[in-house]
Structure 1
């Protein structure tokens, strides 16, 4: 199957969020996202512009975040892992909004090559992947893109990771959990932009609801 993906970044690091915090991971960041989160820290992945397409080596080795992306086949991706000497066996597919694409062929190939897979998605697109893939849904409510959170995404989620800065964000999450009947799933609260008030709110809310805290460890460590 000749499947390709638009990749903005491909790098090895430590997963800093959610259930896999501390796990050595290879990140595949896909280009393209119409959701429009105001606090997004990867806005350079939003637009797909052909003038930003570059060869794979230029994308892999770019010195800083940018709008440039490369088209990569599954074989290209696996070859790059090998050529770069990556040791991690956990692959995080993120964006952008990765679920704009059918990720099933990619995850099948990665799993067949000995990798575990994780998808990080806003829950606004159908999640097409393997049964074994770990799905992190970070539901984005009432964003300017106007997309609804899909019930199918909430049901498929292995964990729900919700960015918070205000009580309204907590209320949004509680409504979502009740609406889709997923109160039993692991819930992580992630303070937006590491702000003190957001962090204090997240800690207090986690304790009150027996939820978990995700503090974007990679940003505190100063790594990608």
Structure 2
């Protein structure tokens, strides 16, 4: 099985429940959405440069790093051909903790492995992203407390919609919830004020720490 890998590197996880922990990142080429705030559009371009790697080459690279957290990202990992085969290989190693960063448009049901399953950091695309119509709502049936729903927020209107979704699907009872601001569109203070006004208990504000440590446009971090 061959995969188009545009980046592989070690860094601290910038978001999700493992934020601040070291992780080895595998970034795949290609995405089925086009969010207007996307910070990895370059990875989705048709002429993007990539390395062809087999599942065993990816696994061997991960093991050689000595890092046990693994983040599969993109692009969109779950649209990669034969990604399930790679997930099964990684899950066979009980020392690895695999996280999949997915955009919320792909049904995760087929990727719920019985043995050492991955955790999902799943976006819900809010109205200002331009991609809300593509969300797979049935995914809310499969998320657990080891997973995360991430709302990337551009405006107060987005915050209102996030609260509506959180309440409607009782997400706080099911999984972890993070609100993350789009850099330059909304101040974190506005999100905190909204959380206070609406008493959003057990909801987390999260800043993308990799964009604080390094330049927001820097790759490989």
TM-score tier by shorter-chain length is 0.7 to 0.9
1:169 aligns with 2:158: yes
Q: Which runs of 4+ in 1 moved over 6 A?
A: none
On the 8 A contact 2:126/2:152 being kept in 1, the answer is: no
Map of 1:63 onto structure 2: none
CA distance in 2, matches of 1:16, 1:146: 24
On the 8 A contact 2:125/2:131 being kept in 1, the answer is: no
After superposition, what is the alpha-carbon deviation per residue over 1:182-201, rounded to whole angstroms, capped at 9, x for unaligned? 242221111111x4843112
Deviates more, 1:37-46 or 1:4-13: 4-13
On the 8 A contact 2:43/2:75 being kept in 1, the answer is: yes
How far residue 70 of structure 1 moved from its aligned partner, in angstroms, is 1.9
Deviates more, 1:13-22 or 1:151-160: 151-160
After superposition, what is the alpha-carbon deviation per residue over 1:67-115, rounded to whole angstroms, capped at 9, x for unaligned? 2112211111123335xx4121111111111121353321221132331
Aligned partner of 2:134 among 128, 148, 163: 148
- Structure 1 gaps, min length 5: 53-66
Map of 1:139 onto structure 2: 124
Map of 2:20 onto structure 1: 22
On the 8 A contact 1:124/1:147 being kept in 2, the answer is: no
Deviates more, 1:3-12 or 1:143-152: 143-152
After superposition, what is the alpha-carbon deviation per residue over 1:151-195, rounded to whole angstroms, capped at 9, x for unaligned? 2323333111111121111122223334444242221111111x4
CA distance in 2, matches of 1:171, 1:181: 15
Map of 1:31 onto structure 2: 29
User: Normalising by the residue count of structure 1, what TM-score does the alignment of the two structures yield?
Assistant: 0.80
- Structure 2 gaps, min length 5: none
Map of 2:78 onto structure 1: 99
CA distance in 2, matches of 1:176, 1:5: 34
The CA RMSD over aligned residues, in Å, is 2.2
Map of 2:212 onto structure 1: 220
Partner-residue secondary structure (3-state), 1:203: helix
Aligned partner of 2:89 among 109, 133, 140: 109
CA distance in 1, matches of 2:24, 2:137: 29
CA distance in 2, matches of 1:197, 1:173: 15
1:189 aligns with 2:179: yes
User: Normalising by the residue count of structure 2, what TM-score does the alignment of the two structures yield?
Assistant: 0.81
On the 8 A contact 2:153/2:186 being kept in 1, the answer is: no
